[in-house]
Amino acid sequence: MTTTTPAGEQHETDAQHPAVTALRAAVQAATVSHRDLDRVDTEAFDRLHAVLAEHFPLLHEHLELVRVPRQALLFRWRGRTDADPVVLMAHLDVVPVEPADTWTHPAFDAVVADAPEGLAVWGRGTLDDKGCVVAICAAVERLLASGATPERDVWLSFGCDEEVSGTSAEAAVAHLRDAGVTPWFVLDEGGAVASGAFPGVRRAVGVVGVTEKGTSLFELRATGRGGHSSTPARNGPTVRVARAVTRVDAAPMATRLPAPTVALLHRMAPLTPLPLRLALGAVGGRLTPALTRALQAAGPEAAAMTRTTLATTMLSGSPAANVIASTATATVNARILVGDTVASVAEHLRRVVGAGVEVAVVEAGEPSPVSPYEDDPAFALLERTITAVFPDAVPAPYVMMAATDSRFFTAICERVYRFAPFPMSKAQRESIHSYDERITVDGFLAGVDWYAALLTGLPA
Ligand SMILES: [Zn+2]
């Protein structure tokens, strides 16, 4: 922003920026993904591809495009040297809009209007994840227009089914593996330039995910005779599953501090008020009871940092009002913190639910390996770029709570980082997968600058 123009006028011109126009067009293509492929509006994805081709002609002219099934895109930008390439990831699909949610502006209209954070583009996907898709493309387009060539190959991998845990990212990984590509680092969505994220810290934190929790599903199942509801036996399947659910709720897994969380707390320490500063600075690999209480009290976001969480989601029992269930089940959705495993969680569940209820693994997802962040040249490049574009933000590693497509890339790359270079308030972070999702115009354009600076800063 310049000081010679009144802020209002500057906003006007920012809102007319070609990258903002491209973002709005991208949001207007309602690329909702579904597990049931028959329900996917493939034309919406075609429209999004067309939007990208129209707004980023140089990118489409100079980069090689590999079409990955079904509607994912994988681009290769040849660099000056054959040093290990970099992969920038984002996804083209979005989650549906719940009919009951009332949006301030319609979810797929991409209206530009004021938000508490400033002038913003409103709509589904602005933050998750079309902001990244379009900012990456805009940065590449800008560099191509200036005649730049990156020092090493840059791949752009845009999946089409991230929100339904689909296979397009795996297909991209398979293509790269077949091509003999071992990336120097991979960067996907995940972290942000987050304000209000850490109790007592006024500055924004540029959190870069260095590992993510694993998502696993377990089924608790009890079986019995069933029969007519007029002659119930005690302790039937439904009762046993109900008891198991309350036992799981009452027996959370042990709290722990993985190394990246310790590093995050150490970086936050100098920014916090004195008593907390001393407590955080002194954190070793263990959680003190006082710190555990502080993190638990800071809300579910901070509490989830300290342990594997177990949430009971689906329940099923009798199919009819006058029938006793012969089988009752409950689904436990576990988000596994690095240090725990699918096997250790299954063991915990078996011990807690006791006899009479079986525990089965329905879907197994281990936590991702921890990518390097101390004295690492790639992580240091991310940190430098964050500090250069967002001087007020403090970069820090962290453990991501949600799953991203980047977990598949851990198979071919030891450095997988998760960071979206956009300032996000707490309300904005809460709008993801919810309603009133929005990105500020200024923040989005800073994100374009960030990707351009990252690509320019790649060493040979
Ligand atoms: Zn996403």
Rounded to the nearest angstrom, the distance between the alpha carbon of 161 and the centre of ligand 1 is: 10
Centre of ligand 1 from the C-alpha of residue 354, in Å: 37
3-state helix, strand, coil in the chain (%, to 5): 40, 25, 35
Q: Ligand 1 center to residue 216 CA distance, Å? A: 18
Give residue 182's pLDDT band: very low, low, confident or very high (50, 70, 90). Answer: very high
Spacing, Cα 256 to ligand 1 middle (Å): 27
pLDDT, tens digit, 9 for 90 and up, residues 201-238: 889 999 999 999 999 999 999 999 888 888 888 899 99
**β-pairing verdict for 227-228 and 205-212:** unpaired
The CA 300 to ligand 1 mean position distance, Å, reads 20
Model confidence at 165, pLDDT cuts 50, 70, 90, reads confident
Ligand 1 centroid to 67 CA: how many Å?
20
Q: Rounded distance, CA 173 to CA 128, Å?
A: 21
Region for 312 from its dihedrals, namely left if φ exceeds 0, alpha if ψ lies in -120 to 50, beta otherwise: beta
Ligand 1 centroid – CA 124 distance (Å): 11
Q: What is the spatial distance between Cα 140 and Cα 76, in angstroms, rounded to a whole number? A: 11
Is pLDDT at 431 greater than 60 in this prediction? yes
CA distance 245 to 262: 32
**pLDDT at residue 284, as a whole number:** 64
- Residues 161 and 186: beta-carbon distance below 8 Å: no
pLDDT at 338 over 90: yes
- Cα(275) to centroid of ligand 1, in Å? 37
Predicted confidence at residue 301, as pLDDT, reads: 72
**pLDDT confidence bin for 402, thresholds 50/70/90:** confident
**Ligand 1 centre and the CA of 164: distance in Å?**
10
Distance 435 CA to ligand 1 centre (A): 15
pLDDT score for 2: 37
Q: What is the pLDDT of residues 133-158, one digit of tens each?
A: 999 999 999 999 999 999 999 999 99
Tokens of 5: 């123009």
Q: What is the mean pLDDT of residues 61-85?
A: 95
Q: How far is the CA of 289 from the centre of ligand 1 (A)?
A: 34
Which three-class secondary structure state does DSSP give residue 194?
A: strand
Range picked from 5-14, 249-258, 358-367 for highest mean pLDDT: 358-367
pTM for the complete prediction? 0.89
pLDDT digits (tens, 9 = 90+) for 96-139: 998 888 899 999 999 999 999 999 999 999 999 999 999 999 99
Q: What percent of the chain has pLDDT over 90?
A: 77
Is the confidence at residue 409, as pLDDT, over 80? Answer: yes
**Gap from CA of 288 to ligand 1 centroid (Å):** 34
State the chain's mean pLDDT as an integer.
92
Kindly report, residue by residue over 84-101, the tens digit of the pLDDT.
Answer: 999 999 999 999 998 888
For 360-387, what is the mean pLDDT? 97
pLDDT at residue 386 in the model: 98
Q: How confident is the model at residue 305 (pLDDT cuts 50, 70, 90)?
A: confident
Cα 438 to middle of ligand 1, angstroms: 14
- Residue 436 pLDDT > 80, yes or no? yes
Distance 125 CA to ligand 1 centre (A): 8
CA of 89 to the centre of ligand 1 (A): 10
From the number of C-beta atoms within 10 Å of its C-beta (0-12, 13-18, 19+), residue 100 rates as exposed
As a whole number, mean pLDDT of residues 393-416 equals 94
- Between 269 and 12, residue with greater pLDDT: 269
Distance 432 CA to ligand 1 centre (A): 9
| pLDDT above 80 (res 302) | no
**Does residue 63 register a pLDDT over 80?**
yes
